[in-house]
């Protein structure tokens, strides 16, 4: 799993008559009990070796682990297997501490790493290794009964953020910086059963200032929602954020001149963030591969944000194998929500207005009123292998778009107007003809004898649009093989929540094969063979969203091939 240690560390030696925090740690306690209840952001990483070793059952991780062991062998300095693994406990927390006042804060003064310790004697060996360093000036002092060791950065080195070296227990070993060559500030504090590290002592002191009587993060009802998740104990990564607390901290951090990259003003929509009470995320292993889930909880229910769930009516009409597919419902409502969001940012608002003007000037149609307003039902956009259609003979790929509407007359009027505009643009070189496929009427836009665009009503409310008459022939009256019955698609989506707002799905195997066919000479080089072996072990990626009046939930799944025997 991910481990720590790097150019920012904190060491502390327990002292007699320690304050309440140390008394509280006299017996094992969850790491979140040490953190303030109003912690704005915390990322929890499991360091249980068996969880990470379990991932080696997948070819992707087996190849990654083997490659890293060969490319990054342990060298001089600190080694995960010998210097960290013997004492490291089962969890690490990456924490942004609460902003204590309205004064500007820096990344170095706000961020710390807190790790569980299973063997304090082994950890002391590492601490002594740092303390024995002769080339760095070390300051040792007491704070609230705790010894804090500090390494001051050389005057010529800027206060850039701490970089933490990661390692996967029992599998991946990375070299650590040599204690004799620390180039940035570092602080270490050793508490009973825990070690704290940071770039400066300030966030450590803030942690030690937390009184015993004050509430901790584990007692926060918003964080408690995460612990009730059925996969919480099995998660590799866990994320918790208090959006409102983080927003205040973010605005202050954005003014820090030492940030490695500038943060533009108004980078976050304050009004939108304030609607939520917490955001949480989990990553865990499941039989198919890696599963990701994010949840955003609203402070108060909001019926205005609830979209009609997608019922997957159009899935049987999508062809298999498909390179990728996107399904959902009510494009018009989703577009309105997106426009509302974009208009809150001046830079996007101006760009959106210019785009609408250009679209109207080209087509003589209004994007909102003429094109999108009637797209209020379910939809499916997909790409699939074919040699038919406008560009398919060269690219061997076709695309199709199904959309349902409650206003067919408006849709037909728009298509007729669009056809007339295209005719004018091609100076009469384009004709619109009606063709018949399996008894179904199809409108085909043709240049000479070549169909470049085609559409058909497959029932009273469902429109099919595709890249030419040849592509439509493969979709009507039904595709020969349906995506809904495809093994890869079923594996990628069966464990995701349903009903939902629709799917995003990409078949990595067929998509990569198509990409490789575009430039075989480039992709068949020895360099790319290694890349193809690694990325080829990813079979598919899929995700979906589920929306209720109380929360928005995102689920993603990476399906991985098993390790080759």
- Residue with the bigger pLDDT between 233 and 255: it is 233
Q: Kindly report the length of the chain.
A: 565
Counting Cβ atoms within 10 Å, is residue 439 exposed (0-12), middle (13-18) or buried (19+)?
Answer: exposed
- The pLDDT-based confidence of 2 (bands split at 50, 70, 90) is very low
What pTM did the predictor assign?
0.85
Classified as helix, coil or strand, 224 is helix
380, 404 Cβ separation under 8 angstroms: no
Give the pLDDT score at 358: 92
CA distance 324 to 258: 42
DSSP 152: P
Q: Is the pLDDT of residue 219 over 50?
A: yes
Least confident of 123-132, 160-169, 191-200: 160-169
Classified as helix, coil or strand, 5 is coil
Counting Cβ atoms within 10 Å, is residue 199 exposed (0-12), middle (13-18) or buried (19+)?
Answer: buried
Mean pLDDT on 527-542: 89
Give the pLDDT score at 125: 87
- Residue with the bigger pLDDT between 372 and 2: it is 372
Q: Is the pLDDT of residue 235 over 90?
A: yes
- Residue with the bigger pLDDT between 519 and 14: it is 519
Peptide linkage before 114 cis (omega within 30 of 0): no
HSE-CB of 528 using CA atoms within 13 angstroms: 10
Give the pLDDT score at 479: 92
Q: Is the pLDDT of residue 19 over 60?
A: no
CA distance 136 to 326: 56
User: pLDDT tens, 43-61?
Assistant: 999 999 899 999 999 999 9
Residues 6+ apart with CB under 8 A from 202: 108, 109
User: pLDDT tens, 329-368?
Assistant: 999 999 998 898 888 887 788 889 999 999 998 888 999 9
User: pLDDT tens, 461-519?
Assistant: 999 999 888 888 889 999 999 999 999 999 999 999 998 999 999 999 999 999 988 88
CA distance 85 to 92: 13
Residue 515 CA: distances (Å) to CA of 286, 323, 384, 401, 537: 29, 11, 13, 22, 16
Closest CA to 257 of 153, 159, 162: 159
Give the pLDDT score at 257: 73
Q: Is the pLDDT of residue 525 over 90?
A: no
- The pLDDT-based confidence of 81 (bands split at 50, 70, 90) is confident
- Residue with the bigger pLDDT between 323 and 214: it is 323
User: pLDDT tens, 129-185?
Assistant: 777 765 567 888 999 988 898 887 665 444 443 333 333 343 333 333 444 444 467
Q: Is the pLDDT of residue 62 over 60?
A: yes
User: pLDDT tens, 314-328?
Assistant: 999 999 989 999 999
Least confident of 163-167, 430-434, 557-561: 163-167
Give the pLDDT score at 532: 87
How many C-beta neighbours within 10 Å does residue 70 have? 8
Closest CA to 147 of 10, 28, 24, 21: 10
- The pLDDT-based confidence of 307 (bands split at 50, 70, 90) is low
Closest CA to 315 of 405, 387, 382: 382
Instruction: Give, for 272, the enclosing helix (H) or strand (E).
Output: helix 270-273
Give the pLDDT score at 180: 45
Give the pLDDT score at 258: 72
Give the pLDDT score at 283: 98
Q: Is the pLDDT of residue 14 over 80?
A: no
Give the pLDDT score at 10: 31
Mean pLDDT on 194-210: 92
Give the pLDDT score at 75: 46
Q: By percentage, how much of the chain surpasses pLDDT 70?
A: 83
How many C-beta neighbours within 10 Å does residue 241 have? 21
80, 3 Cβ separation under 8 angstroms: yes
Q: What is the largest CA-CA distance in the chain?
A: 92
Mean pLDDT on 100-121: 86
Give the pLDDT score at 429: 80
DSSP states of 41-77: EEEEEE--HHHHHHGGGBHHHHHHHHHHHHHS---SS
CA angle 412, 418, 421 (to 5 degrees): 145
How many C-beta neighbours within 10 Å does residue 278 have? 23
Q: Is the pLDDT of residue 400 over 80?
A: yes
Classified as helix, coil or strand, 429 is coil
Q: Is the pLDDT of residue 86 over 60?
A: yes
Residues 6+ apart with CB under 8 A from 69: 171, 172, 173
Give the pLDDT score at 394: 67
441 token code pair? 């009427």
Q: Is the pLDDT of residue 416 over 50?
A: yes
Q: By percentage, how much of the chain surpasses pLDDT 90?
A: 47
CA distance 252 to 105: 6
Owner of token pair 């993060």: 217
Give the pLDDT score at 9: 29
CA distance 175 to 75: 6
Give the pLDDT score at 391: 61
- Residue with the bigger pLDDT between 15 and 555: it is 555
Residue 465 CA: distances (Å) to CA of 361, 414, 468, 555: 23, 13, 9, 29
């Amino acid at each position: 799993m991910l481990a720590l240690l790097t150019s920012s560390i904190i060491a502390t030696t327990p002292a007699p008559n320690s304050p309440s925090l140390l008394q509280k740690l006299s017996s094992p306690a969850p790491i979140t009990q040490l953190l303030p209840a109003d912690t704005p952001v915390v990322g929890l990483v499991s360091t249980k070796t068996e969880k990470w070793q379990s991932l080696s059952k997948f070819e992707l991780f087996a190849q990654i682990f083997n490659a890293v062991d060969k490319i990054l062998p342990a060298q001089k300095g600190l080694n995960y297997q010998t210097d960290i693994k013997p004492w490291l406990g089962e969890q690490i927390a990456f924490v942004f501490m609460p902003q204590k006042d309205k004064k500007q804060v820096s990344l170095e003064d706000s961020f710390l790493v807190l790790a569980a310790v299973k063997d304090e004697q082994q950890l002391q060996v590492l601490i002594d290794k740092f303390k024995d360093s002769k080339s760095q000036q070390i300051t040792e002092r007491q704070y609230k009964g705790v010894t804090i060791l500090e390494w001051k950065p050389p005057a010529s080195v800027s206060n850039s953020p701490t970089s933490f070296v990661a390692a996967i227990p029992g599998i991946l070993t990375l070299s650590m910086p040599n204690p004799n060559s620390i180039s940035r500030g570092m602080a270490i504090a050793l508490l009973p059963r825990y070690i704290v590290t940071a770039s400066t002592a300030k966030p450590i002191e803030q942690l030690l200032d937390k009184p015993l009587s004050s509430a901790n993060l584990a007692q926060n009802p918003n964080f408690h929602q995460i612990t009730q998740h059925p996969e919480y104990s099995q998660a590799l990564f866990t994320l918790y954020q208090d959006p409102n607390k983080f927003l205040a901290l973010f605005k202050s951090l954005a003014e820090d001149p030492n940030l490695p990259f500038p943060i533009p003003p108004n980078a976050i929509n304050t009004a939108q963030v304030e609607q939520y009470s917490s955001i949480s995320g989990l990553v865990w292993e499941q039989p198919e591969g890696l599963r990701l889930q994010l949840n955003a909880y609203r402070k108060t229910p909001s019926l205005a944000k609830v979209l009609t769930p997608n019922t997957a009516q159009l899935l049987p009409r999508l062809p298999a194998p498909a390179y990728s597919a996107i399904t959902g419902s009510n494009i018009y409502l989703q577009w309105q929500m997106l426009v509302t969001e974009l208009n809150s940012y001046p830079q996007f608002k101006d760009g959106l207005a210019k785009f609408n003007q250009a679209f109207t000037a080209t087509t003589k149609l209004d994007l909102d009123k003429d094109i999108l307003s009637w797209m209020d039902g379910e939809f499916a956009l997909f790409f699939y292998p074919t040699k038919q259609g406008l560009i398919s003979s060269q690219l061997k790929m076709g695309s199709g778009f199904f959309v349902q509407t409650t206003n067919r007359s408006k849709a037909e009027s728009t298509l007729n107007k669009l056809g007339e505009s295209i005719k004018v643009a091609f100076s009469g070189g384009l004709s619109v003809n009606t063709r018949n496929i399996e008894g179904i009427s199809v409108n085909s836009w043709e240049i000479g004898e070549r169909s470049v665009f085609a559409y058909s009503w497959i029932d009273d409310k469902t429109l099919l649009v595709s890249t030419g008459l040849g592509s439509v022939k493969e979709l009507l009256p039904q595709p020969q093989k349906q995506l809904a019955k495809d093994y890869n698609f079923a594996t990628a989506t069966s464990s995701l929540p349903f009903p939902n707002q629709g799917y995003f799905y990409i078949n990595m195997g067929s998509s990569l094969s198509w990409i490789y066919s575009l430039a075989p000479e480039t992709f068949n080089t020895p360099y790319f063979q290694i890349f193809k072996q690694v990325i080829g072990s990813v079979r598919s990626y899929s995700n979906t969203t589920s929306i209720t009046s109380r929360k928005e939930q995102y689920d993603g799944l990476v399906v991985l091939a098993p390790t080759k025997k």
